[in-house]
Amino acid sequence: MESMNGELALFGGSKFIAVDFPRYRTIGKEEVVAATEVLESGNLSQFLGSWGPDFFGGPKVQEFEEACANYFGIKHAITVNSWTSGLVAAVGAIGVGPGDEVIVPSWTMSASASAILHWNGIPVFADIDTDSFCMDIEAVKKLITKRTVAIMTVDIFGQSANILQIVELAHGLGIKVICDTAQAPGARVGTKLAGTLGDIGGISLNYHKHIHTGEGGVLFTDDDELADRMRLIRNHAEVVVEPKGETRLDNMVGHNFRLGEIESAIGIEQLRKLPALAERRQRAAEQLSLGLANLTGLLLPKVSAGNTHVYYVYGMILEGHALEVGRPAIIAALEAEGVIGLMNGYQNIHLLPVYQNKIAFGNDGFPWTSPYCDNEVSYAKGICPVSEALHDSSFLGLQFCLFEYGSSEVQMVIGAFQKVWANLEVLSGSLR
C-alpha cells in the first residue's frame, strides 16, 4: 500500500486503496426463509379495495405494522409500497388542498416536495443549517404565512431535525408537522425515535437504506383520525368511505399504495436487525472522525445535543479558504486513491425545472395559478443560500449505506484522505 506521503495516484502513484469494498448487504438467510414461507403459502397479498377485514391487508402486513408500532413506540404504523407513497398519503391525510403552503427544506430528495404538489399544495422552501444539514428553524419562521398548513421536516443523512422546537412553533400556530425520516431509521431524539415526534412521520424501506424490503415505507402517527385517513388514501379511499361510514371526504381520492406479504415478511426480519446495523454505522463514523480530526479545512459531522446519528451519509464540509484547492480536485484525488461512494454536493430541489418554470399539471402553471394561491412564492436561486453554497462548492459526503465499512475499510479511507491532505500543496500547484 502506498505510504501517506507517496505520489498521488492522480499523478501516476499507486492507489492507496487497492481492494474492492463489499457492498452493504442486509439480506440474509432469515429473509430468504421468511419470503419462501410466504411464497409457499400462495398468499402474496390479501388486500381488497373494499371495506372489510381484508381492507387492512394480509397477516404479514399486519404483523409487520404491529412490530413497527412496538419498536418505534407509536400507536399506528401503516405500511406503504414506497416512502414517496407514504409522503403523498401523509400530506393528503392532514388535509392539504389547492393553494395551501407546506414549508419543506430544499436540501432533500425530490419526493418531499412533489408529495405536496400531488395535492395541489405549494412547496415553500426553507434553508438549512451547516451543523445538522437539517431545516433551520429561523428560516422557517420567516416563511410562515396565513396559507401555511404544515411544516415537513427532513431528518437528512441520519439524524433528526430540530423537531422539538419546530413542533412547539408549529402547534402553537395550529400548523401540522410531518417528519420525513427516510434516512434516519433508529436515530434518537432523547428517549424517542426520530419520525415519531410530529403529527405524522415515517421511514423508507428503499433498497439503499439502513434496512429495506426492496421498495417500501412505513408511516407513523399517534392520531387515530390521521391513521384512518392514511389507510384510506393507501387503499382506494373513494370506494371505501361510504361503507366505512367516513364523513370527512376531503382528499379521499385513493390509490394502490399497498405493500405485499413478501415485502412485509422481509421487513419483519429487517426490523430485528436495525439496532445492530445502526450501531455498525455509528462505530464506523466514530472511527472515521477520529482519523480525520486533524485534517486542515475539513469539517466533520456534528451531532445535535440530545440526538443520535445513524449515518446514512457521513457529511463533511470543505473550507476552501483553508485548503486553497477546490472540491473537484479533492474528489478527483480521493477517487484516484480508491475512495468510493463520495458525494459531490447533494441537491437543491427548488432549482429543478418544475419549480423554476412553475409547470406541474398541464401547461398553465397550475397549482401556482390557482385562484386559491394568493401568495407569490419565489424559487429563485438565492432563497436558500446555505444549502446552495454547500451543493455548489463545499459539501463532501460519503455514502455509508452503499458499501460495508468495517474497521479495516474505514482505516483505508482514513489513509487515503491523509495521503491527499499531505499532498494538498502539490494538488493545488497542479491547477495553477
List the chain pLDDT tens, one digit each, 432 residues: 445 668 999 999 999 999 999 999 999 999 999 999 999 999 999 999 999 999 999 999 999 999 999 999 999 999 999 999 999 999 999 999 999 999 999 999 999 999 999 999 999 999 999 999 999 999 999 999 999 999 999 999 999 999 999 999 999 999 999 999 999 999 999 999 999 999 999 999 999 999 999 999 999 999 999 999 999 999 999 999 999 999 999 999 989 999 999 999 999 999 999 999 999 999 999 999 999 999 999 999 999 999 999 999 999 999 988 898 999 999 999 999 999 999 999 999 999 999 999 999 999 999 999 999 989 999 999 999 999 999 999 999 999 999 999 999 999 999 999 999 999 999 987 764
Distances (CA, A) of 345 to 96, 315, 350: 31, 10, 15
**Distance from C-alpha of 183 to C-alpha of 414, rounded to nearest angstrom:** 24
Tell me, what amino acid is at 283? R
Q: Residue 178: phi, psi to the nearest 5?
A: -110, 130
* CB-based contact 239:254 (threshold 8 Å): yes
Cell of 306: 440530545
Closest by Cα among 64, 83, 69 to 217? 83
Total residues found in the chain within this entry: 432
Domain ranges of the chain: 29-270
**Distance from C-alpha of 59 to C-alpha of 153, rounded to nearest angstrom:** 32
Closest by Cα among 426, 422, 424 to 414? 422
**Distance from C-alpha of 27 to C-alpha of 209, rounded to nearest angstrom:** 12
Closest by Cα among 213, 211, 157, 214 to 180? 157
Spell out where 106-259 has E strands: 122-126, 148-154, 176-180, 188-189, 192-193, 200-204, 217-221
CB neighbour class for 77 (10 Å; exposed up to 12, middle 13-18, buried from 19): buried
For residue 45, the model assigns a pLDDT of 97
For residue 136, the model assigns a pLDDT of 98
Angle CA 267–273–278, to nearest 5: 115
For residue 1, the model assigns a pLDDT of 46
Task: Count CB-CB contacts under 10 A for residue 344.
Answer: 14
Q: Which residue has the cell 402553471?
A: 365
pTM greater than 0.75 (yes/no): yes
CATH topology of domain 29-270: Aspartate Aminotransferase; domain 2 (3.40.640)
* Crossing angle of the two packed helices 83-93 and 224-234, in degrees rounded to 10: 130
DSSP track, 46-93: ---SSSSGGGG--HHHHHHHHHHHHHHT-SEEEEES-HHHHHHHHHHH
